[in-house]
Amino acid sequence: MKKSSVTAFVLLACFAAGFLACALHTDQEWSFSERRRLAQKPTVSAESLMSGKFMSDFESYSLDQFPLREVFRTVKAQVQYHVFRQKDNNGIYLVDGTLSKIESGLDENSVAAAADKFLTLKDRYFPDSRVFYGVIPDKNYYLAAAHGYPHLDYDRLDAILAEKLPELERIELYDCLSAEDYYRTDSHWRQERLEKAALRIAEHLDVDITPFDDYTAHTFENFRGVYWGQSALALPGEDLTYLTSDVLDGCTVYHVETNGTTGVYEPERLEDPDPYDVFLGGADAFLTITNPHAETDRELILFRDSFGSSLAPLLVQDYRTVTLVDLRYFSSELLDQFIDFHGQDVLFLYSPSIYNNAALLK
């Protein structure tokens, strides 16, 4: 009887402590680790109660605003990885201190659609330009197969593009990179490790780039990428480095969306939820880098995803302008309203996830 009383008291104390913690807990609007907005307390109404929406929203709210939520997420992830020996958590896997996201199942129709999109734009806007395309390898290319994780069929991806785009010049990048050239906690490549890739691209474009020894490196410590929060493993942060030079310091970047001008880098963005936005200000539908130090009048149009933000500054030396277009956010129907096409070099450069989800390209 005494043992039962003690057990009941302990349970009651735990319940009271939990209730008190919930009562004193201040709701948070944003999860910095997951980079998303958290559910807020739903409004009670007769309609929401009758439809069941209130209970559904309240469940999401209670899960998002639970006290010590981040602690429990980390404990759960550690148990899954190290106790139950599961190979991933929330689709994120860990190999030798590096995080990556499982992506498998190549959508061949999507890859073909992406290629068709490139051809349509070429025929409509720049039939006489030199047009190039490439695949930016993701980390999985270097990690997944070697460690038993599912992955895209990269050979098939390349074969479809080669079959559909014989008139475009392909730029091969797989052999220019390794897993060490990507952030351990993020999907993106490290700008300071892109010398081989930038040289390969420049060789095809027939331009020179600034020697990497001539750059000045600026390092932001304790960077935690998107996979850091999604994995909930609380791994150590890492360095994020961006490269400057006299040429880049003299460049200006015009952003169509804001009708404003910035520099190539925006160091104040290092304090944002995603410090990778230091490169050209992050996600942007349409922007143009102008290089007043260029010794030619050549121009480049780069159709890109987020990887292009850190690559483009490395290509500007011989170009008067480099225009970056992100077709996930900018309709291709509007291109001739913002670009005077007159024989610029054109490069389509996307990571595999974009080729595998071509419906994102407008």
Residue 93 maps to a domain:
no
Would you say residue 23 has pLDDT above 50?
A: no
Q: Is there a single domain that holds both residue 159 and residue 111?
A: yes
138/103 Cα distance (integer angstroms): 10
* The last residue of a domain, from among 12, 41, 67: 67
Domain with 216, as residue range(s), is 104-360
Three-state SS for 262? strand
Q: Is there a single domain that holds both residue 131 and residue 262?
A: yes
Q: Please choose, from the candidates 254, 258, 276, the residue with its C-alpha nearest in 3D space to the C-alpha of residue 267.
A: 276
For the ranges 12-21, 61-70, 163-172, 306-315, which has the lowest average pLDDT?
Answer: 12-21
207/199 Cα distance (integer angstroms): 9
* DSSP string across 285-349: SEEEEE-TT-SS--EEEEEE-TTHHHHGGGG-TT-SEEEEE-TTTS-GGGHHHH---SS-EEEEE
Q: What is the pLDDT of residue 17?
A: 44
Summarised one tens digit per residue, pLDDT across range 66-82 is 565 655 566 555 556 66
348/356 Cα distance (integer angstroms): 15
Q: What is the pLDDT of residue 5?
A: 58
Q: Is there a single domain that holds both residue 166 and residue 303?
A: yes
Q: Is there a single domain that holds both residue 167 and residue 289?
A: yes
* The last residue of a domain, from among 67, 89, 113: 67
For residue 332, what are its two tokens? Answer: 């291709």
Task: State the chain's mean pLDDT as an integer.
Answer: 85
Q: Is there a single domain that holds both residue 221 and residue 320?
A: yes
* The last residue of a domain, from among 67, 89, 115: 67
Residue 98 maps to a domain:
no
Summarised one tens digit per residue, pLDDT across range 327-355 is 999 999 999 999 999 999 999 999 999 99
Three-state SS for 139? helix
Q: Is there a single domain that holds both residue 169 and residue 250?
A: yes
Mean pLDDT value of segment 150-176:
96
Residue 94 maps to a domain:
no
Residue 218 maps to a domain:
yes
Q: What is the pLDDT of residue 235?
A: 85
For the ranges 19-23, 26-30, 50-54, which has the lowest average pLDDT?
Answer: 19-23
Summarised one tens digit per residue, pLDDT across range 203-253 is 999 999 999 999 999 999 999 988 888 777 878 899 999 999 999 999 999
Mean pLDDT value of segment 33-39:
58
Q: Is there a single domain that holds both residue 20 and residue 134?
A: no
361/349 Cα distance (integer angstroms): 13
Q: What is the pLDDT of residue 66?
A: 54
Specify the long-range contacts of residues 43-46, CB closer than 8 Å, at least 24 apart.
Answer: none
Residue 137 maps to a domain:
yes
Residue 96 maps to a domain:
no
Residue 77 maps to a domain:
no
Q: Is there a single domain that holds both residue 55 and residue 115?
A: no
Q: Please choose, from the candidates 354, 296, 299, the residue with its C-alpha nearest in 3D space to the C-alpha of residue 328.
A: 354
Q: Is there a single domain that holds both residue 47 and residue 123?
A: no
Q: Is there a single domain that holds both residue 13 and residue 149?
A: no
Residue 252 maps to a domain:
yes
The two most distant CA atoms of the chain are separated, in Å, by 91
Mean pLDDT value of segment 139-153:
93
pTM to 2 decimal places: 0.81
Q: Is there a single domain that holds both residue 157 and residue 282?
A: yes
Would you say residue 10 has pLDDT above 50?
A: no
34 vs 161 pLDDT, higher one: 161
Q: Is there a single domain that holds both residue 148 and residue 207?
A: yes
**112-140 CB burial, b ≥16 within 10 A, e <16:** bbbbebbeebbeebbeebebbbbbbbbbb
Question: Domains in the chain: how many in total?
Answer: 2
Q: What is the pLDDT of residue 104?
A: 82
